[in-house]
Structure 1
């Protein structure tokens, strides 16, 4: 049932253009009717309006997570995972063997999928996993281990066989199928081949997709999330959320980006066919009506432009080559490795034109400055050809930015979509990245406030399940630029001081009104203004008086979506 309620005697952050704070908000029929001073509002509200005394509690717009992978996350928390832990080979094998031992009734062809593996944190440094190591396990079952960054998958020999992979295959244009020194497959798939292999393996985890969708939205609502963007959306995801919507159970607004791969953009004919399929997909799932009731909307096309910056993959595209550690000598050496661009410039410009013609927006995985450069060049073409078009390119991640690119983001109205928690590094990671990039490039590693200071609008996206689902911790790291050790209850690791930390309001705006703008939804959500949908959260504790390192302690008392309470802790 939708509320007809005036919340008063609180601190209500509107996230409007003036960043106004008011003490009352009236919502009815899922719409914000008025915001302002309670003494003025109470004389104009309807007689049957409920009065809710906030007792000085805080109301914020609902959190908008504008880049995540909810079904990967939902399946991961219900399956076998390695908990993002740094492990030795023996520790990893022991854990995987325990998963196998728990399923002794499974047949020889039944898959075991293991997730949340920290490849870059294997102990000791330089250790890696391959099929020979997985083949030591006491099983004949096919096994795959999926890295937490979702860019590496390692398969045992049985899994390679069932996946149909062989040494004579050539690498696809958007990733690697790795081989050992003898030229045989070593079980390691990187970037798109890893994702496609993982998606192709169907494993029954005891819950249906609808149950997973319900669990995911409940977890999100508990953290104050009211809108999400699935950054690589498939039919099974939207079928599940669509079932919840049809049953009037959907409690989070769902947006999606439909992926176009280089394989589907080789020729003009294949591009035409691909976009015909996208139009059909949109016509099937996109709700053309926007209402207080949560729905499903498709505004974006996803492109993986490059890969990953962290070792050992180093497929993020750079403008200058990587420095990499020589395992034999222990010295860091300049290489001829610039990473990978998965689309040619001509391809990308053709694809952006198709996106523009459909009045959609591109959403691009751009980790390195080489990938950023490619997208900004393609965006410039669209700006020149369609000067009046509402075209909002989202560039996700931007872990390494070239100095001149900040101004280009501003001039082109391109929107960085940032995972704030990545600006918290361990000492080991910080030292490795400094040596890999050199001091000059390290200055622009994991920038956030540098965009704001150049007048660029930034949006927040957690990228869950690349990291644990903890929205308020992620916002905290954007403020402190330092890791928090929950076990020791203290800040840990160095401050990544190549950029200033965000203010609390900058962090909130990135996860509310700015994220809404990137998604093309700012007319409806993202701020608490008259006429917008009543998506808001009431906080249990006083966020505005927290120390920066206490933001992760934020607790949600109520989450309201479209004027309905979808979560309460009371």
Structure 2
């Protein structure tokens, strides 16, 4: 990674190209490219100019020449694609950075023996740690493991050669597996009640198996001593480094709190914050049920400490969102996403399965009597709600409550979003537009995977599987689709997500897909066009985050957040859409990342004569 004092800028209207020689020189000019603006017409230009971190020109090469002065830094794009910076409208950077420092299972499909061997290797590598030091394990693909040889339990970890407490976090962040020592330290036994937003999986005798879902997972995780401030900063730096390389210039931290607020603010003050941080504070259903006014007041108190007000050219910290978990996940074996009709269960055998409706409808953590007054208080307080909802019942209840708030506060400009929406009843597709609710989708989930085809699909049933990941249907019904990676639930790979958004299939050559065996389309749900997925990760995400007046497209007056791509996303063959990379990332006119040895992207002091077409 390289840092530089370079500046960039862009604009869209053709009339802007008519400049005089008296135009003030720009800090940076980029020319001879394919400048994909994401303006109202998705226009493509040749050149941009930036001054003071803002776009002052977008147009052709001839018009940009008047912006070149003696101090202007000029970059020849050599025909490369330049576009707005990626805006990730749902990720978990604190967890992402932390995952890079833990015992890492690397999202691999593991049998129980392989799982045990990988964790034992981490224990052996940290043999200097005392018996009371927790081993934290991350990026566990529980869904794939269940498909291989079943769900593990505490005995799987108890068999390891250690006295240390162990906590294994699933890659979806909704499950924790703990060994017996860990459960004891957490005070969890057969008498421990389930929290309002989760459960401890139990055996027939009522004893906890070690599998902890949602709120129960958080209870166990909370026993692990928190990291120090220095460790937290290290984790956030690692997350920002990953984002820079992937071209992410703004992001929502979709499960945040004071710890992350403090870390991002510290890095902002030291000049190390290289992407715009928007924090969403998780709301607890039990606290919300007891006193919604007090719950929202607590968020406003955090906002007073960490929100930096109006978005500025220099990356800053904003806190104006709240996060609510409406349900768990629809993926097997958890089956905690809230459905309208029951999950299927195998009434037969493994060799002769018979999938029939059971009694499980999943979990709904915010009933309407709690959700309605809570969202109403949030909107009145100027906070935008961001609702996790994977199952169709959770999506419907979220839409019902948002409709209630719209009716109670006509004209209120709050911007709600429903994240994931993996199963949605078709009757609810047009409600996203009608209620002005953004569907924040992890596009990469619309590819085939072992966990979906070999287990989750059976639990959902063929009808629900056929309409899984319905971003195309919501879009076709007029809804707004924004992109959210959900990192580190999946590896951070925006180009794979965009590719899957266009084809609804993975890339067998991409390590974050699942190989030739799972290279087909997930289902017959409609896909998005290339222009639509680009809009989802730029302008639509900016709209969700209330940044669209200053970000999301390359237009005069907006902030110069932009990226240069190795390949033109609009032109490469479909099978190559995920095989791209960012060569340069610019935030507020400042180059925060440049790929080493990227040919031709070093700035040059060119004369106006050299810029002549």
Structure 2 CA distance, aligned partners of 1:206 and 1:258? Answer: 19
* Contact 1:58 1:538 (C-alpha < 8 Å) held by counterparts: yes
Which residue does 1:295 correspond to in 2? 316
Structure 2 CA distance, aligned partners of 1:72 and 1:251? Answer: 18
* Contact 1:301 1:360 (C-alpha < 8 Å) held by counterparts: yes
User: Residue 192 in 1 paired to residue 215 in 2?
Assistant: yes
User: Residue 87 in 1 paired to residue 87 in 2?
Assistant: no
Structure 1 residues 140 and 536, CA gap change in structure 2 (3 angstroms): same
* Deviation at residue 388 of structure 1 after TM alignment: 0.6
* Contact 2:327 2:337 (C-alpha < 8 Å) held by counterparts: yes
Structure 2 CA distance, aligned partners of 1:101 and 1:280? Answer: 44
Give the stretch that moved more between structures: 292-301 or 443-452: 443-452
Structure 2 CA distance, aligned partners of 1:435 and 1:49? Answer: 60
Q: 2:235 aligns with which of 207, 212, 215?
A: 212
Structure 2 CA distance, aligned partners of 1:190 and 1:428? Answer: 18
User: Residue 513 in 1 paired to residue 531 in 2?
Assistant: no
Three-state SS of the structure 1 residue aligned to 2:115 is helix
Structure 1 residues 330 and 231, CA gap change in structure 2 (3 angstroms): same
* Deviation at residue 540 of structure 1 after TM alignment: 2.3
* Contact 1:58 1:539 (C-alpha < 8 Å) held by counterparts: yes
Q: Residues 80-105 of structure 1, C-alpha deviation per residue, up to 9 Å, x if partnerless?
A: 02111111111111111111111111
* Contact 2:507 2:575 (C-alpha < 8 Å) held by counterparts: yes
User: Residue 305 in 1 paired to residue 326 in 2?
Assistant: yes
Q: 1:169 aligns with which of 179, 183, 192?
A: 192
Structure 2 CA distance, aligned partners of 1:483 and 1:326? Answer: 32
Give the stretch that moved more between structures: 65-74 or 46-55: 46-55
Which residue does 1:318 correspond to in 2? 339
* Contact 2:332 2:459 (C-alpha < 8 Å) held by counterparts: no
* Deviation at residue 206 of structure 1 after TM alignment: 12
Three-state SS of the structure 2 residue aligned to 1:299 is strand
* Contact 1:536 1:561 (C-alpha < 8 Å) held by counterparts: yes
Q: 1:560 aligns with which of 577, 586, 600?
A: 586
Structure 1 residues 343 and 417, CA gap change in structure 2 (3 angstroms): same
User: Residue 256 in 1 paired to residue 279 in 2?
Assistant: yes
Q: 2:365 aligns with which of 323, 335, 342?
A: 342
Three-state SS of the structure 1 residue aligned to 2:429 is helix
Structure 1 residues 198 and 551, CA gap change in structure 2 (3 angstroms): farther
Structure 1 CA distance, aligned partners of 2:523 and 2:413? Answer: 36
* Deviation at residue 330 of structure 1 after TM alignment: 2.8
Q: 2:139 aligns with which of 110, 113, 116?
A: 116
Give the stretch that moved more between structures: 316-325 or 536-545: 536-545
* Contact 1:491 1:549 (C-alpha < 8 Å) held by counterparts: no
User: Residue 227 in 1 paired to residue 227 in 2?
Assistant: no
Q: Residues 345-395 of structure 1, C-alpha deviation per residue, up to 9 Å, x if partnerless?
A: 110001110111111111000001100011100111111111211121110
Three-state SS of the structure 2 residue aligned to 1:231 is strand
Structure 1 residues 326 and 272, CA gap change in structure 2 (3 angstroms): same
Structure 2 CA distance, aligned partners of 1:83 and 1:311? Answer: 20
Structure 1 residues 428 and 306, CA gap change in structure 2 (3 angstroms): closer
Give the stretch that moved more between structures: 349-358 or 541-550: 541-550
User: Residue 365 in 1 paired to residue 391 in 2?
Assistant: no
Q: 2:463 aligns with which of 440, 458, 465?
A: 440
Which residue does 1:11 correspond to in 2? 34
* Deviation at residue 525 of structure 1 after TM alignment: 0.9
* Contact 1:450 1:499 (C-alpha < 8 Å) held by counterparts: yes
Give the stretch that moved more between structures: 539-548 or 291-300: 539-548
User: Residue 410 in 1 paired to residue 433 in 2?
Assistant: yes
Q: Residues 318-366 of structure 1, C-alpha deviation per residue, up to 9 Å, x if partnerless?
A: 1111112247463212112111100111100011101111111110000
* Contact 1:299 1:519 (C-alpha < 8 Å) held by counterparts: no
Structure 1 residues 491 and 6, CA gap change in structure 2 (3 angstroms): farther
Structure 2 CA distance, aligned partners of 1:542 and 1:258? Answer: 37
Structure 2 CA distance, aligned partners of 1:549 and 1:258? Answer: 39
User: Residue 486 in 1 paired to residue 509 in 2?
Assistant: yes
Q: Which runs of 5+ in 2 are unaligned?
A: 8-26, 597-613
Q: 2:174 aligns with which of 151, 174, 185?
A: 151
TM-score norm. by structure 2 comes to 0.89
Three-state SS of the structure 2 residue aligned to 1:381 is helix
Three-state SS of the structure 2 residue aligned to 1:98 is helix
Structure 2 CA distance, aligned partners of 1:199 and 1:452? Answer: 39
Which residue does 1:36 correspond to in 2? 59
* Contact 1:126 1:327 (C-alpha < 8 Å) held by counterparts: no
Structure 2 CA distance, aligned partners of 1:59 and 1:191? Answer: 41
* Deviation at residue 501 of structure 1 after TM alignment: 2.6
* Contact 2:251 2:275 (C-alpha < 8 Å) held by counterparts: yes
Structure 2 CA distance, aligned partners of 1:200 and 1:237? Answer: 18
Structure 1 CA distance, aligned partners of 2:500 and 2:544? Answer: 22
* Deviation at residue 295 of structure 1 after TM alignment: 0.3
Three-state SS of the structure 2 residue aligned to 1:545 is coil
Q: 1:528 aligns with which of 546, 554, 565?
A: 554
User: Residue 500 in 1 paired to residue 515 in 2?
Assistant: no
* Contact 1:65 1:460 (C-alpha < 8 Å) held by counterparts: yes
* Deviation at residue 273 of structure 1 after TM alignment: 2.2
Q: Residues 7-52 of structure 1, C-alpha deviation per residue, up to 9 Å, x if partnerless?
A: 1111101111111111111111000112122323433666643332
Which residue does 1:539 correspond to in 2? 565
Structure 2 CA distance, aligned partners of 1:361 and 1:206? Answer: 29
Structure 2 CA distance, aligned partners of 1:199 and 1:164? Answer: 12
Q: 1:265 aligns with which of 277, 284, 288?
A: 288
* Contact 1:254 1:294 (C-alpha < 8 Å) held by counterparts: yes
Q: Which runs of 5+ in 1 are unaligned?
A: none
* Deviation at residue 554 of structure 1 after TM alignment: 1.3
Three-state SS of the structure 2 residue aligned to 1:300 is strand
Three-state SS of the structure 2 residue aligned to 1:538 is strand
* Contact 1:483 1:492 (C-alpha < 8 Å) held by counterparts: no
Three-state SS of the structure 2 residue aligned to 1:543 is coil
* Contact 1:69 1:231 (C-alpha < 8 Å) held by counterparts: yes
Give the stretch that moved more between structures: 365-374 or 428-437: 428-437
Structure 1 residues 235 and 204, CA gap change in structure 2 (3 angstroms): closer
* Contact 2:83 2:564 (C-alpha < 8 Å) held by counterparts: yes
User: Residue 284 in 1 paired to residue 305 in 2?
Assistant: yes
* Contact 2:280 2:320 (C-alpha < 8 Å) held by counterparts: yes
